[in-house]
Amino acid sequence: MRKTIIAGNWKMNKTPSEAAELAAAIAQIQGAKCEVVICPPFVDLFYAKKAIEGSCVKLGAQNCHFKESGAFTGEISADMLIEAGCEYVIIGHSERRQYFAETDETVNLRTKAALAKGLKVIVCVGETREERENGITENVIDRQIRLGLKDLSKEEMANVVIAYEPVWAIGTGLTATNEQAEEVCKFIRGLIAKLFDADVAEETTIQYGGSMNAGNCAALLAMPNIDGGLIGGAALKPADFATIIAAGSAN
């Protein structure tokens, strides 16, 4: 049985003291029957970790470099994240692709490096609005998945989560319809079956992300191929995040 995972991507929000407060509020959410992950900014990790101690909430980061150390100003290594208490890392978020020149090739390098160190990786894929309008959504996802997961073993796939995040739905208030989200998540599962095998596909958690909120989460999470959510804005509001966790726990 694959895991349902509700992960909050805090992006560049919250100072360390604010992060400690938000993480403590999330740690108090009761009744989660799914995996709950928070991904604060790097400087907040230690504070968030302390705040979630003793709860089931897991810690993740928003990026990780593929080299162990060295002259990579502004970057962070997998070892650093692990020592800060991270179990997860988000790789290839569309904002990294859009603003920081992340490519499918660097997504692959970062993913392999993080997996080699024992992190679980949330690999983000998704089409832009223009790509959807041009009818090439599946081609784009196919390329992102093939290149992003290139040379990964079936065993490594046990620590990979895919987040399908249509770029046009992130932070815009526009959500993919349940059917649109399900269609692409199903396509991704089929592709994983082709690239690895049916068992790997069946076991891989595929999240939806893109303006998921307290109002639309239940219907999205009830779709058969949507196994969780990667949540931006609503992850900063403990009550809304609690509603999403409850919906994730119901499936």
List of residues contacting ligand PEP (CB under 6 A):
9, 11, 165, 170-171, 209-212, 230-234
Residues 59, 26 contacting (CB under 8 angstroms): no
65 a catalytic residue: no
Say how far apart CA 195 and CA 249 lie, in whole Å. Answer: 30
- Considering the complex, state which of residue 124 and residue 201 has its C-beta at the smaller distance from ligand PEP: 124
Say how far apart CA 122 and CA 59 lie, in whole Å. Answer: 12
- Considering the complex, state which of residue 84 and residue 214 has its C-beta at the smaller distance from ligand PEP: 214
Q: Where are the alpha helices (DSSP H) in 149-249?
A: 154-157, 178-195, 198-203, 217-221, 238-249
102, 131, 165, 182: the catalytic one is: 165
- Considering the complex, state which of residue 27 and residue 169 has its C-beta at the smaller distance from ligand PEP: 169
Q: Which two tokens stand for residue 166?
A: 């249509």
- Considering the complex, state which of residue 209 and residue 238 has its C-beta at the smaller distance from ligand PEP: 209
Residues 187, 168 contacting (CB under 8 angstroms): no
- Considering the complex, state which of residue 11 and residue 189 has its C-beta at the smaller distance from ligand PEP: 11
Q: How far is the CB of 229 from ligand PEP (least distance, A)?
A: 8
Q: How far is the CB of 6 from ligand PEP (least distance, A)?
A: 12
Say how far apart CA 234 and CA 228 lie, in whole Å. Answer: 14
Q: How far is the CB of 94 from ligand PEP (least distance, A)?
A: 8
State the residue number with the nearest CB to ligand PEP: 232
35, 93, 95, 127: the catalytic one is: 93
C-alpha angle 63/109/208, rounded to 5°?
Answer: 55
Q: How far is the CB of 212 from ligand PEP (least distance, A)?
A: 6
Residues linked to residue 37 through DSSP beta bridges, in sequence order: 7, 58
Residues 220, 242 contacting (CB under 8 angstroms): no
21 a catalytic residue: no
Q: How far is the CB of 96 from ligand PEP (least distance, A)?
A: 10
Active-site residues: which are they? 93, 165
